[in-house]
């Protein structure tokens, strides 16, 4: 579905099959890296969670690893994207409230935390958008074919 506002060459780029896969991978890349980093140094991950007041730290670290890796995998594979992106969004929201509580800070620290808070808010919006787009039958060629077959039978 091309937009009348987009030049033809932009529409052509946006229809490249690999672009959708690459965009999903890039969207969750920080979560993949974070999950792997936590998994490879679990003691540090647990201490980080405790530092932000999330106790017990080991439980929050384990939860973060499962959500970051599992949620990312669901988004990348374009399966149950609502679940994967939803989990990542909730994890991001908790992180925003604990690590980027800019309303409790002052000076440069407040500036940096405010910026990070709203960057994370934008990331949550991206996760919502990927869930919306993934819910469209056209986002998955096999699902689009099944949808067309069902529509043909029902007519």
pLDDT at 30 over 90: yes
Coil, strand, or helix at residue 136? coil
Give the residue with greater pLDDT, 149 vs 38. Answer: 38
Task: Kindly give, in sequence order, each residue whose CB lies less than 8 Å from that of residue 34, ignoring residues fewer than 6 positions away.
Answer: 64, 68
DSSP per-residue string spanning 22-69: HHHHHHHHHHHHHHHHHHHTHHHHHHHHHHTT-SSHHHHHHHHHHHHH
Domain ranges across the chain:
20-136
pLDDT number for residue 76 = 97
pTM for this model (two decimals): 0.84
Instruction: Report pLDDT for 146.
Output: 42
pLDDT of 139 reads: 62
Other beta carbons less than 10 A from residue 145's beta carbon: 11
69 within 8 A of 32, measured Cβ to Cβ = yes
Residue found under tokens 């409790």: 104
Q: What is the pLDDT of residue 141?
A: 53
């Amino acid at each position: 579905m091309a937009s009348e506002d987009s030049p033809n060459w932009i529409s052509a780029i946006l229809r490249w099959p690999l672009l959708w896969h690459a965009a999903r991978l890039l969207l969750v890349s920080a979560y993949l890296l974070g999950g792997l980093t936590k998994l490879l140094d679990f003691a540090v991950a647990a201490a980080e969670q405790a530092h932000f007041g999330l106790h017990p730290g080991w439980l929050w670290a384990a939860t973060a690893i499962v959500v970051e890796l599992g949620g990312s995998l669901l988004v990348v594979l374009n399966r149950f994207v609502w679940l994967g992106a939803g989990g990542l969004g909730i994890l991001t929201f908790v992180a925003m409230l604990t690590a980027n509580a800019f309303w409790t800070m002052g000076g440069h620290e407040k500036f940096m935390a405010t910026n990070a808070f709203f960057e994370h808010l934008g990331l949550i919006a991206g996760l919502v958008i990927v869930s919306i787009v993934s819910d469209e039958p056209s986002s998955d060629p096999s699902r689009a074919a099944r949808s067309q077959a069902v529509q043909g039978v029902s007519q």
